[in-house]
Amino acid sequence: MVRRSVLVVGSYALLAALAVAAAVASGWYVFRETPPVTLTVAVGGRGGNIDQLMTEVSDLVASQSRTIRLAIVHTDGSATNARLVAEGKVAMASVQADIMTAPNVRVVAVVGREHFQLIARRSSQIRSLRDLAGKRLALPPEGTSGNQNFFALAQHHDLPLGEIKVTAGPVNDNFAALERGDIDAIAFVRALRDPATIEAMRRVQQRGDAFVFVPVEQASAIRLVKPYVTESSISQGTYQGFPPVPEQDTPTLAIGINLVAGADVPEAAVEELTRILFDEQLRLAFRTPLAAGIARPSQGGPSLPIHPGAKVYYDGAKPFLLVRYRDEITFLISMLTIAYSGLMMLRLQIRNRRKIRVSAYNDKLIEIASRTQEAQEVGDIAALHRCRSDLNLLIQRVMKDFSEERISDQGFHVFSLSWEAVRASIAEAIGEVRAGMPETRRSAA
């Protein structure tokens, strides 16, 4: 019997130990620290706007996420970035919207816009695309967006390419050639206020020359051929306020910059990055104004498929009710405000009318009191009776207005006190006049 009890107790103890071990294992599995996933991001040239933006995003991710980290990779541009993502050599990259990508590339977000910029030395006398004939023009390498967009412009404007001395090479090398005077103009696609562009302009101005931004007209028509471009302009003073560079608003083309990812990049990692990009966009904007360009991919035109991880965020990140119906709520609040203001004005008008009405009745009381005093002085008992009759008619009118709410409670109370005083005054005057009258007249009165 004792042995059986020992076995039962031992079995229960074993089961309890197994339950505790299972609980501990489950807790460890749930709360264990797993190393964050590192996403490599190709951003193009070092020091560019996208490099600056994604560096700030990387720092914010490190402080806001326990599951992902970003590693920045510098390349020679969008075409290389697209290839690296397609080959799986990087997880993500910034790619201009007009760059062809492989079927296994997915878009995550729009992170900015780059502009086609055609810059010439002032001394070259180039002021329009047609002025390029007979001049030396440097373009970015073949296959890049800047190179392809120039030839699309040349075809649209029917430029005499045979008369333009075109060379191709890295943009920074082209800037150096422009500074030396080896070429007359350069064309490229970069974000506005790109640090390398600003520095090159500064060096040229120090040598006594200056740049001229050449306008690119008919962007809307060009979009019919290249649907990824949009009409834009380079605002006066974008690169320098005084003297302004450019000297005036200059029309040109703009191209969106997409943050893309390989289709096989983990959904959870992409969803986490997308969440930080949009939920923390205001915080990011305090670090760099470039964050203002972050937006959801447009579904109104040609675009890449959205990465499943980003789509999870976009589909699940429904705005709060107040945000979703903010326009309707704003309109309703405006209408309520107008209605409240109208009611307050109406109430004020009614109050003023009541005051005017009570004031008129008080003036009538003063007039009756004055007549009473005059009648008492001459001993005119009939005039005193008329004053009393008028006083009684007045209180009837006031009572009627009060019942119809044309006189306030406070106004009626004040009038009643005044009316009672005048009534007592009339009664006293009648008594005094009667007392001083002969017996025969007193009886008649």
188 strand-pairing partners: 117
Q: How many CA atoms lie within 13 A of 423 on its CB side?
A: 12
Q: What is the pLDDT of residues 172-211, one digit of tens each?
A: 899 889 888 899 999 998 888 877 778 877 777 777 677 8
Whole-angstrom distance, CA of residue 1 vs CA of residue 435: 129
Mean pLDDT of 351-377: 84
**Gyration radius (Cα) of the chain, Å:** 44
Query: E-assigned strands of 191-326?
Result: 211-213, 229-234, 250-262
Cα 217 from Cα 272, distance rounded (Å): 41
- The confidence score (pLDDT) of residue 249 equals 93
Confidence (pLDDT) at 442? 47
- Single out the residue of 68, 20, 71, 12 nearest to residue 41, CA to CA: 71
Please compute the mean of the pLDDT values over residues 210-229 and round it to a whole number. Answer: 84
Task: Quickly count: other Cβ atoms within 10 Å of residue 131's Cβ.
Answer: 15
pLDDT of residue 208: 67
Whether residue 284 contacts residue 291, with contact meaning beta carbons closer than 8 Å, is answered with yes
The residue whose two tokens read 């995550």 is 108
Please report, for residues 80, 104, 260, the alpha-carbon distance to residue 85 in angstroms, rounded to integers and kept in the order given.
9, 9, 8
The HSE-up count of residue 327 (CA atoms within 13 Å, CB side) is 0
Measured in residues, the chain has a length of 445
Please give the pLDDT value at position 19. 53
Say what the pLDDT of residue 34 is: 75
User: pTM of this prediction?
Assistant: 0.58
Average pLDDT over residues 87-107: 91
91, 265 in Cβ contact below 8 A? yes
Give dist(CA 313, CA 327) in Å, integer.
Answer: 24
Q: Is a pLDDT exceeding 60 seen at residue 322?
A: no
Q: pLDDT tens across 112-136, in order?
A: 888 999 999 888 999 999 999 999 9
